[in-house]
Structures are given as structure tokens and as C-alpha cells.
Amino acid sequence: MWKLATTLAAACATLLVAVVPITVGAVELADCKLDQSNFPGQALRGFTRKSLTRYFMEVDGTLKNGAETSYERDEAVLNVDLRVVRATPVLTPSADVTLKSSWALSPNFKFAKGLPLRSWAEVESTDGRRFGLLEMKDGAVLFFDQANEFCNKVLTNKPDGKVWQAGTLSKEPDGVAFERGLQDDITKTGSLRIIYLGTTAGAMKFQEVWVQGSRIGKSIARTFDQFSKSIDIAGFRFEVIEAKGEKVKLKYDIASRTEITADQSNQIALQNKKD
């Protein structure tokens, strides 16, 4: 009797395992309703696009922030290394994941665990919703919401028009999450020297020198009124405590990392890192 009960229990367990569904395969992504106003060849018409890229100036060197410091003629007021850093938003998958398209003519999109995916821009829909973009090499554009969840529609971005692809995307495996972050790239490097040249005839004189390695890339003479309370050189502000003949006493406060605009990045007299 005991053996019969054991056999029946095992059979029931086997049957239970057989009928309980196991969640496998791709799960369709959410419909973000991005294609509701799809004009022929002009998908995303009415949407506002903006860049997500940010730029920073990093200063590396001995800084005498907050201190009133005297400098002799031909002495460096500032002698620092500079870097322009481009910070780009990225999405990083927690595991290997594939976004599969139900449309036979569209490729699947495979992303490797821990490999950052750059998102260069963001669009805002006419109803105020915001979505990040991932632009793929084949011209396809993927969209993700503020919770880092991808949408189920793909845009074909071609020079002659923008069109929503047929079909929808599914994610496999479903449990993979994407984490948002920033990736820094150094785009320009160099050094800056600001040399005090003395004060004569009511004029304070400085030399602004941009250096690449041992080569002087640009050297600019800067002249200011001797009685100025503050002066700006190379984008940095200095408070003038006293200026007289061979000496000048200055005070400054320079951050080690400051956000700048894209235009400011382009204007900075540094040589591109690749050059």
C-alpha cells in the first residue's frame, strides 16, 4: 500500500509539472503610441529633438583657490593642464539581450551585457512625453522611455524620409534591465600658461599661452587697466587686489570641473586629441 501511494504521488507531480506553463521566449515591448501621427516619409513630425550631449572643462594643476597671492614679473599666474570632456548618456544592459522584430525585413537588435549604448539625442512628443533615441548603423532608430524601457516600434531614418517600420519589437529574455548613465570621452587636451608681464603707464599686461606638448599653439597679449577690480583671461576670472610695477596680487577660485556649452568647447584653443 505504501509503494502504491508513493507511485501515485510521483505520477501526480509529473502531471503537475507538465501542465504548469513556463515563461520562455520574447515578450512584446510596450506600445508608446509614437506612430499615431505618421505622415508619409515624415515620421516624428511635430516632435522636438534636442541633444543630450554635455561638455565639461577639467583643470589639473596646482590651484591657489581663495588665496591672495603675489606674482613677480614673468611669473606664471596660472600653469595648468586642461581637458575638454564630452559626456554622453548611455544605456547599459544587465545581461545579453535581443530585441526581436516581428517584421521579416527588419533585423534583430542584439546587445551585450555591460556594453554601454550611446544615446545622443532625445525627442519630446506633442503631448509632452520624452523619449531617448538609439541610432543604429543600418539607419534604424530605437526609442526608450524615461524608465529605460524600449518601445515596440522602430523608425527607419533615411535621407529621403523617416518611416515607421512594419511589425513590433519583443525583448528576449524579458527580465533584462537597462541602466542609464554617462560616458566621458576626452575630446581636447592641452596646457594653459598665464604669465604676468608687469604694470606700466597704468596698464597691467599678461600673456595667455596655449601649449600642446612642447609646442606653443597660440599666444595672446592681454592688457587691462591698472585699477581694474577684476579681469578675465582665457575664460577664468581673477580678482585684482593690487597691481604695481613688478608685482601683482590676485585672487581666484577655479573649479576642477566646469560645465561648458558646445560652442565654448569649439572655441577653446586646444588641439584635438587625435591630432
Whether 192 and 77 map to the same domain: the answer is yes
Query: Do residues 250 and 69 touch, judged by C-beta distance below 8 A?
Result: yes
* Residue 45, in any domain of the structure: no
Q: pLDDT tens, 241-256?
A: 999 999 999 999 999 9
* Residue 79, in any domain of the structure: yes
Which ranges of the chain does DSSP label H, i.e. alpha helix?
2-19, 262-267
Q: pLDDT tens, 21-43?
A: 334 467 899 999 887 655 555 67
**Phi/psi at 16 (nearest 5 deg)?**
-65, -45
Distances (CA, A) of 94 to 22, 113, 119: 22, 6, 17
Task: Answer with the one of 183, 203, 229 that is the final residue of a domain.
Answer: 183
Signed CA dihedral, 30, 28, 137, 148: sign only: positive
Whether 168 and 239 map to the same domain: the answer is no
Is the pLDDT at 16 greater than 90, yes or no? Answer: no
Confidence (pLDDT) at 157: 84
Whether 161 and 121 map to the same domain: the answer is yes
- Is pTM, for the whole model, over 0.95? no
Which positions ≥6 away from 165 have C-beta within 8 Å?
Answer: 101, 103, 105, 106, 140, 153, 154, 155, 156
Nearest to 148 by CA among 92, 223, 232, 230: 92
Distance, in Å, from the CA atom of 78 to the CA atom of 60, rounded to the nearest integer, reads 11
Which positions ≥6 away from 253 have C-beta within 8 Å?
Answer: 65, 66
Task: Answer with the one of 133, 149, 183 that is the final residue of a domain.
Answer: 183
* CATH number for 192: 2.60.98
Distance, in Å, from the CA atom of 100 to the CA atom of 43, rounded to the nearest integer, reads 21
105 or 275: which carries more pLDDT confidence?
105
**What domain range is 223 assigned to?**
57-83+187-261
Q: What percent of the chain has pLDDT over 90?
A: 65
* Residue 230, in any domain of the structure: yes
Task: Answer with the one of 121, 155, 183 that is the final residue of a domain.
Answer: 183
Whether 138 and 70 map to the same domain: the answer is no
Give residue 2's pLDDT band: very low, low, confident or very high (50, 70, 90).
very low
